[in-house]
Structure 1
Amino acid sequence: MLIGRKAQFGALTAALERAAAGHAGVVLVGGDAGVGKSHLVAELTATARTRGFAVLTGQCAALGESMPYLPLADALWTALRDPRSAEDERAALENALAGRPVLRRLLPDGDGAPDEASDLGRQQLLGATLALLGELGGQRPVLLVLEDLHWADRSTRNLLVFLSRVLQRERVCLVGTYRTDDLHRRHPLRPVVAELLRLPNVSAVELKPFRPGETAEYLMSLAGTGAKPPADLVERVHRRSEGNPFYAGELFAAVDDEELPSALADLLLARVERLSEDAQHVVRVAAVAGRRVDDELLRRVSGLPEDAAGEALREVVSHQILVPSGMAGYAFRHALLREAVYADLLPGERTRQHRAFAAQFLQAAAPIEAPLPDGNRPPRAAAELAYHSMAAHDLPTAFAASVRAGRDAERMGAPDEAHEHYDRALSLWDTVPGAEESAGMKRVDLEWAAVRSSARAGELRRAVQRLRRLLTLIDPDDKALGAEVRERLAYYLHELDRLDESRAMAQEALDLTPVEPPTPARARILATYVRTLLATPERYDEVPAMAAETLHVARATNVPSAEAAALISLGQHTEATAGPGPEVTRAYSEAVRLARTSTNMQVTLRALYTEARLPYEIGELERARALADEAVRFTLDNGLDWATYGINLRFLQFLIAYTEGDWERAARIADGFGIRVARDVEAVVSSYALFLDVARGSVCATHRLQWIEPLWDGDAWLTYVARGLAAEQRMWEGDTAGALAHIATVLAASGPTDTGLIRIAAVGLWAHADRAVLARRAGDAAAEAAARAAADELVAKARFAATHTPDGRHDAWMGAEGRAWLARAEAEWRRAHGTDEPEHWRAVRDAFDYGFVYEVARSRWRLAESLAENGDRDAAAAEWRAAVTDAERLGARPLLRVLHDLGSRARLAEPDRSRATADTARDQGPLSGLTSREREVLKLVAKGMGNKEIAATLFISPKTASVHVSNILAKLNVTSRTQAAALAHRENL
């Protein structure tokens, strides 16, 4: 029975309905401890089951940050064993998990012998979770509940953020609960909640304390007699409980006591003190375990005889201190009750109980020194052993368990928790006797493990700090280790764009590595070194020789990932300096083959992306589409679609669809990019959709840019994409000043040899050409000269980028799109100078005609305009009709608008006689005597244009324009252009 929660429950059930209809959503339920969050969610899960939902419910635990993905594992394990789940529901979950071993490892019976932890393990787990929910949602809608998020580990918080951002059309409703009174200013969940509530599919439900009438109704439901409790009792309970339902219930249960305790903790403990000694002992033991505890574990740790333990448990359950939870365990009826009992334990008593739990988990995790894999222990035994051992002040056991727990966390794709465990172990190293033997590794190896987990968690700066510290710890004479540390340091510095430091560190690593005999370490160091050279213009010419050496060493030592990386770097160098010949295509294909044979997912994704990108660059769109689709399938199969190269591949897939004119497919891909963003990486992903939004004139473009704007100057690529397309949007709106402001910012953030700036320059030249044309028509020589000078400066930038490589050579290679944009930049420059001819715009059209449907149509717009200006109306009409056909099919509204304007001014469209008849019938006023052409001339007169400007706008001679104006004045019976303009305005022409 829900009291005082009708609105909140309605919001939750509405979220269920939206999920069932294919609109995924997230609801965060907040409220103070005891306010009724769990009861509300229990009602929701019951309702969801009656509506045919698959229900997954998991809880976080107050065990610190050491238990990665605990609520997800709890939800999956419980659903597999829950008798309330339909048989086909459990079978579907089993099948879904069977194909996703990264999730199966989270379960108590998960595979204990997994593959080596991947650098992309977390992305794989996140991707696998999303895919699992999508697969389950394809059969029946899913309700996923994550309770007590105020205790969530960092990996669970990452999972919550990830799902909140990427769930779109899956039939999934995610509900999370948390205590608002626990979210102090530095609580790690607090910024997460604030961030998520900015997302469009995330809503909040806040539970407030009961009002007096609700408290009375609640107490009446507890009494079960149907009679209202005395008003003075209700008033006293409501005042003492401050409307908190849990506290009110406890006060009401204690109403027969002669004196009510003054504090909630005392009130809760009074309930426990009514129990027998054995039952009280069981409750205290359970409090040390956490909010939930396994039946067998609780019996063993209690130390009671079997019969006595059974009687004690029955008594505790009958008094509703513990309640059955899952198939074989118990949970405290409320977390407040557990906290009160735990806080009341004497220090020695608490330590002894933690030691007893540690002993049980030690058995589950034994032998603690055994190297992975051991295949027999529950996946969380080591983490719980570390927790209880630390609480019991058993540092040697805590140390060894922390090392093992770190390995387990890595295995489960939880690098944040792995780092925490390794960090704790390192902090204990000097205090533990025989640390090296206990850990089963040297200290430097443990430091390496901490570095590895930091990097996998995306904490590259923390990894760099650890590596620098590691350099001070290692033996200077150990050149092999010193080189390995420096190689990783160079790699991470490169990822952080600290390129000079990266190259210097890679050089140091290389200097420490002997040339003979070849070693795997030298192969990896060379691969990283070559990558740093690619980012160093003055050392660019060294790339081929160093890449060749890398290939030789990698092949000699059988390091396929280094060989693949070298092939990619060599191919990129050749592509940039000589163009993409067949040898580049072969290099990328071989890199993919080699990378797939390695365990290095980073190199594999880089190879897949590079292989698919090349045919796109050279205009082979069909092949590019096939390769990109295959690569995206690989990322999805491995749960890596949200890794960096996974995102890049989806963007490439989007660009190919956009270029080919398959805008419906492009829109489906863009649906996953999101609009409301809070971080740079999200803004970059969102900005990709602007290509389509701006071209279609969608209101989404404005909304998207509003969210991106606070972030768009913090990342160079984001600046290029977002502000470049914002400039294009401003041009469609006629705002040349706004467009040029964006262009200036993008150019300032681009390198002079970056071929990407050619496209930006072309948009800027569009703006300068428009200004020059208007100035020329108005006879404003100064404004025209300024626009021409600005165009000269901008076209020079485009030409330089088109002919210069990073190493200063004058033989740059551009892809098919780059050549087309350069042709457009040149044509716009000529338009600014008034020297453009149809042949220039034909060159632009032909350059884009490798399959770029939209840009061909946009080029035909200018070509038709140029043909009309040169008097070739038949050819202009043919180009115009082709452009209109494509623009209409694509839904390119801004382009269609200017095409219709051109068709009207240049009389390229077939006359619409029905519309002309309607206009005549409607207009019986003073303008009724004007022809359609005279109306067009009058509109321009009303804008203040002279005969020369009118002639240029309507593609007629100035003499013809003068004749039209004279005829208009006569027909309107006015003596001046000013009077004619006033009449046009009065008639709303």
Structure 2
Amino acid sequence: MTPKTVQTALMGRSTELGRLLGVLDAAEDGLAGVALVGGDAGIGKTRLVSEVRDLAEEREFTVLAGQCAELGDALPYLPLVDALRGLAELNAPGGDPLAAWPALLRLLPGADPDPAGVATGALAQQQLFGSVLGLLASLAEHRPVLVVFEDLHWADRSTRDLLVFLTRMLQRERVTLIGTYRTDDLHRRHPLRPVLAELQRLPLVGTIELPPLGDDDLARHLADVDGASRQPVGVTDDVIGQVLERAGGNPFFAEELLTAAATCGGVPGSLSDLLLSRVEALSDQARHVLRVAAVAGHSVDHDMLADAAGLGEVALDDTLREIVSRGLLTAGRHGYAFRHALLQESVYDDLLPGERTRLHGAFARLLAARGAPAAELAHHYQAGHDLPGALRASVEAGRIAAGLGAPAEAHRHLDRALEIWEHVPDAERITGTSAVRIALSSAAAAADAGEYRRAVAQIRRLLPTLGDPLLISEANERLAYYLSDSDLGSGMVEAARAAVDALPPDEPTPLLARALATYARTMFATSATAVRDLAARALDAARAVGARDAEVSALISLAIVEEATGTIERVVELLDLAAATGSDDLSVHLRATFHTARVRYEHGRLEAAARLAGAGVELAARSGLTWSLYGTDLRFLRFLIQYAAGDWDEAERIAAGFGVRVGTVAAARLSSFALFIEVGRGGDAADERLSWLRPFWRPDEQGGDGLVTYMAGGLAAEQALWRGDPETALRHVTAVTDTLDPFDPGLIRICATGLWALAEGEAPDDARERADDLIERARWAAANGPYGPREELGPEGAAWLRRAEAEWHRVRGTAEPRVWREAADAFGFGFVYEEARCRWRLTESLLNAGEREAARAEWSRAVETAERLGAAPLRAALETLGRRAGFTEPSRPPAEAADTVAVAEGGLEALTVREREVLEHVAAGLSNREIGTLLYISQKTVSVHVSNILAKLGVASRTQAAAVAHGRRAAAEK
């Protein structure tokens, strides 16, 4: 941890301090927050944040703090490691807080570099990020947490990515994250610039720019420094005036100017002169030690400084006492740190080239003897012009960074190794590997960091230099894999074919199994037969050599093709084989678990699906992979199963963890599923969620996503229908159907929603034409898959098709009870809510057919379900229908409708005569079309009246408005 210096009173920062304390207040109340504190070097960022840290500790926050260093680009996650070290020293409630997070434990010095249960490759960073989020959430359960990352202008790429991840994912955790950075260091191409621009657009983030202090505040600050140090300055008022004028409101500059004026007899002419004037006043031996310390960086261990300076203990102690007494270094528990980074930079920049090279070389040798991190060694070897040492250390640093889940840094280290490879004789012996292997590893690291263009370009540069068939196959397989995972255009099929063709077809090897599995994956968009044949070959090769990852991948590919062309029993059989085979790769394992649970859910086997999805969610959470691709998918699948099975309280509890204030596609996808419960239960929660999802709602726009469009658009349409606005619902439906492939089974549900909207509103001729188009699209999607006719449609898809058919009949006025009974029975496999919605319509149909007793029975079943689920809109619609029919049981009104009457009753006085007339017909359950026919006005005019009525009554739906009307009528009758 960074050594603390004597604190002086905080001058002129009350506004900024108040804003930061406000973020702490929000965290205590359960609303996470992020504050980015920027300002010029020396302006007082660290002093302000130190004050916040002290106040947070007084308020019993768990405070974690870490600092980036100028070596941060070589040392991944440096501030996180610093913060975790501090956490390990705390007596946190609940025992060792890091014990449950092996991906974080391995970051600490001396930890097991390859602990059990820790992912590799691209999944390693996802696991690490998820572990940090999980750790903060678990700590925040005991008391609020403050995390401080200082000097982000020096942060490595992985730390910047972690900062973005946490900022986007923190929602209701009691966590505050504060980051500081120098504004004067952010040149136009500085890598922190786009990160700040991205974060500052998020409402979770507050930005605080520290302005220069005013003269009065700065003068009080100097007086406080003088008093705290008990060092009489003894300068004239004129000199103080010059200091204030020259300092430009910068506290650090002012302190240095004042000290220089007192010790050197005048005010230096430049910043560099100002800082170095303090150094020049030291003895020769002290200047030497300070220069050695500057090569080490911002801080240095005592023993390392002693060895590098070449002084005995007594001489070193005397020298350090001189330096510390002058305020140039501060003493900590384990070593020394420069009082300010600017001072270290000035001393380092003043070194002669030869002096700098020698000192870096000396540090490299000393660090190597102590087993220092390879990344730090690589830095000193490079600066000391020791290319063999730099090569060896860079390769090792790349390997370690990849293992730690820092792929961007791994790629950078390995690329640096490739740059100097040709300049180092006997490079293969020194590194124990080849340039080809380094290039492949570098490309893998680039892909893991999401830099697919770099990965593809590196492989394509490498391929012409290869002559070994095994290397040709491996390079092409990786190229095909990276191309299939990205949107970089054509070439993946050709690369995958070349990977397979380079190997003997009759000699099974792990590489052949993987190449065939990748080849099958690239063929999904072209031919089911090709995918099936290639996956079967991959399966045979994988089983022959025990390549379990390739075996599981091949089985999943076969299952996906079978799902589109074959039977459910065969799909389940293949996926069960994949799950039973298992994989050491957590990503492959979670993928198999997800698909196995998903298929069971989609085919009505909810209990088995719930068991599998729950196990997958628990594994992802234990592994820190909650926010990985399949960790996210398993979470929404578990929610859907509970929602379909009718356990809405549990579904709502799960959805509470999805977050509303989304900032990534992954978070938006997860959040969109919560709309099922929010729209189903009514209220305003869905409105806020939809507003956050809107930037991800249009796949043709940058940042848009097809799944979010499908989910948010479809459920926004349902919400509009519950609120009596079929025109808006149809617009949402059209926007979604325009994005879906004609064979997408999700099209069936959306078409059913569109048909519901048509039945509520449009003119008969137009409605019938549009209804015919929607039902034909639903039928085609039900009968056809991506490779041709479907052999089997799952029970949920079949039920939605029945629902679509029934809605189509409703549009055409031919909805006999039979069609709605078939729809209700089709959902009887376990989809409780949709079955109840169909029984609502079945009740209507039975009443129209004169079958009153049968209608009452169906109505009672639907009411019981709606009440149990808390489905307020459906319950209100059933109440209206029951009142029209004269059904009196169950007798109690829905809670939401009753509340609406109490709140909105007075709004009836504001309605016009025509609006009251329209409301009476709305209360009778008539559609806009039926109301228009009775009143001889257009349907659009009815829609305008209904909108005005809802606004004046302060209600959200037609059913709530009807409840207001019925409540007033009941009151009048009494």
Q: One fold, TM greater than 0.5?
A: yes
Work out which of the residue numbers 313, 316, 327 in structure 2 matches 1:309.
316
Counterpart check, 1:429 vs 2:408: no
CA distance in 2, matches of 1:80, 1:913: 57
Work out which of the residue numbers 21, 33, 40 in structure 2 matches 1:13.
21
Counterpart check, 1:860 vs 2:839: yes
Alignment of 1:321-720 (within 5 A): 321-325=328-332, 327-364=333-370, 381-475=373-467, 478-496=468-486, 501-536=491-526, 539-581=527-569, 583-595=570-582, 598-714=583-699, 715-720=705-710
CA distance in 2, matches of 1:874, 1:217: 87
Q: What displacement does 1:836 show?
A: 0.8
Q: What displacement does 1:441 show?
A: 0.9
1:816 matched residue in structure 2: 795
For the residue of structure 2 that corresponds to 1:410, the secondary structure is helix
1:399-420 Cα deviation digits (max 9, x unpaired): 2211111011012111110001
Q: What displacement does 1:630 show?
A: 0.7
Cα gap change, 1:934 to 1:786, in 2 (>3 Å): closer
Counterpart residue identity of residue 180, structure 2: T
For the residue of structure 1 that corresponds to 2:109, the secondary structure is coil
1:297-349 Cα deviation digits (max 9, x unpaired): 11211223332222111211122211123x31211111111122122222222
Q: What displacement does 1:164 show?
A: 2.0
Q: TM-score, normalised by structure 1?
A: 0.85
1:924-968 Cα deviation digits (max 9, x unpaired): 99x99xx999965999999997796489x9xxxxxxxxxxxxxxx
8 Å contact 2:658–2:674 — kept in the other structure?
yes
Q: What displacement does 1:266 show?
A: 1.4
Q: What displacement does 1:639 show?
A: 1.1
8 Å contact 1:867–1:876 — kept in the other structure?
yes
1:515-540 Cα deviation digits (max 9, x unpaired): 2222111111222223333332xx21
Counterpart check, 1:65 vs 2:73: yes
Structure 1 stretch displaced more, 632-641 or 170-179: 170-179
8 Å contact 1:660–1:852 — kept in the other structure?
yes
1:830-856 Cα deviation digits (max 9, x unpaired): 111111112111122222222222222
Counterpart residue identity of residue 808, structure 1: G
Unaligned runs of 5+ in 1: 82-88, 365-378, 773-782, 954-983
For the residue of structure 1 that corresponds to 2:188, the secondary structure is coil
2:960 matched residue in structure 1: none
Q: What displacement does 1:713 show?
A: 2.6
For the residue of structure 2 that corresponds to 1:674, the secondary structure is coil
Counterpart residue identity of residue 455, structure 1: A
Cα gap change, 1:797 to 1:380, in 2 (>3 Å): farther
For the residue of structure 1 that corresponds to 2:96, the secondary structure is helix
8 Å contact 1:118–1:600 — kept in the other structure?
no
Matched-pair identity in %:
49
8 Å contact 2:398–2:411 — kept in the other structure?
yes
Work out which of the residue numbers 856, 878, 883 in structure 2 matches 1:899.
878
Q: What displacement does 1:592 show?
A: 1.8
8 Å contact 1:940–1:950 — kept in the other structure?
no
Counterpart residue identity of residue 615, structure 1: R
CA distance in 1, matches of 2:113, 2:210: 42
Work out which of the residue numbers 25, 33, 41 in structure 2 matches 1:33.
41
Q: What displacement does 1:126 show?
A: 1.3
CA distance in 1, matches of 2:499, 2:727: 51
2:304 matched residue in structure 1: 297
8 Å contact 1:823–1:843 — kept in the other structure?
yes
2:109 matched residue in structure 1: 108
CA distance in 2, matches of 1:201, 1:641: 21
CA distance in 2, matches of 1:334, 1:227: 21
CA distance in 2, matches of 1:51, 1:919: 44
Counterpart check, 1:286 vs 2:263: no
For the residue of structure 2 that corresponds to 1:323, the secondary structure is strand
For the residue of structure 2 that corresponds to 1:641, the secondary structure is coil
8 Å contact 1:215–1:234 — kept in the other structure?
no
CA distance in 1, matches of 2:665, 2:105: 32
CA distance in 1, matches of 2:599, 2:927: 53
1:972 matched residue in structure 2: none
Structure 1 stretch displaced more, 628-637 or 222-231: 222-231
CA distance in 2, matches of 1:458, 1:506: 21
CA distance in 2, matches of 1:505, 1:567: 22
Structure 1 stretch displaced more, 513-522 or 111-120: 111-120
Counterpart residue identity of residue 713, structure 1: R
8 Å contact 1:60–1:147 — kept in the other structure?
yes
Work out which of the residue numbers 251, 264, 267 in structure 2 matches 1:260.
267
For the residue of structure 1 that corresponds to 2:63, the secondary structure is strand
Counterpart residue identity of residue 105, structure 2: R
Q: What displacement does 1:800 show?
A: 0.9
Counterpart check, 1:836 vs 2:824: no
Counterpart residue identity of residue 324, structure 1: A
For the residue of structure 1 that corresponds to 2:176, the secondary structure is strand
Work out which of the residue numbers 737, 754, 765 in structure 2 matches 1:785.
765
CA distance in 2, matches of 1:671, 1:330: 47
Q: What displacement does 1:690 show?
A: 2.5
8 Å contact 1:873–1:908 — kept in the other structure?
no
Cα gap change, 1:922 to 1:722, in 2 (>3 Å): closer
1:202 matched residue in structure 2: 205
CA distance in 1, matches of 2:682, 2:84: 44
Work out which of the residue numbers 139, 157, 160 in structure 1 matches 2:160.
157
CA distance in 2, matches of 1:354, 1:918: 76
CA distance in 2, matches of 1:19, 1:617: 40
Structure 1 stretch displaced more, 225-234 or 466-475: 225-234
Give the RMSD, CA atoms, in angstroms.
3.6
CA distance in 2, matches of 1:19, 1:13: 10
1:977 matched residue in structure 2: none
Structure 1 stretch displaced more, 134-143 or 299-308: 134-143
Q: What displacement does 1:221 show?
A: 0.9
Structure 1 stretch displaced more, 345-354 or 91-100: 91-100
Alignment of 1:765-804 (within 5 A): 765-772=755-762, 783-804=763-784
Q: TM-score, normalised by structure 2?
A: 0.87
Structure 1 stretch displaced more, 274-283 or 740-749: 740-749
Counterpart residue identity of residue 363, structure 2: F
Alignment of 1:961-980 (within 5 A): none
For the residue of structure 2 that corresponds to 1:120, the secondary structure is helix
1:689-719 Cα deviation digits (max 9, x unpaired): 2323333334343333333333323333333
Counterpart check, 1:246 vs 2:246: no
For the residue of structure 2 that corresponds to 1:562, the secondary structure is helix
Counterpart residue identity of residue 495, structure 1: D
Cα gap change, 1:896 to 1:213, in 2 (>3 Å): farther
Q: What displacement does 1:618 show?
A: 1.4
For the residue of structure 2 that corresponds to 1:633, the secondary structure is helix
Counterpart check, 1:211 vs 2:214: yes
8 Å contact 1:755–1:818 — kept in the other structure?
yes
Work out which of the residue numbers 56, 59, 62 in structure 2 matches 1:54.
62
Alignment of 1:715-726 (within 5 A): 715-726=705-716
8 Å contact 2:233–2:258 — kept in the other structure?
no
Counterpart residue identity of residue 820, structure 1: A
8 Å contact 2:798–2:826 — kept in the other structure?
yes
Counterpart residue identity of residue 321, structure 2: R
8 Å contact 1:769–1:787 — kept in the other structure?
yes
1:367 matched residue in structure 2: none
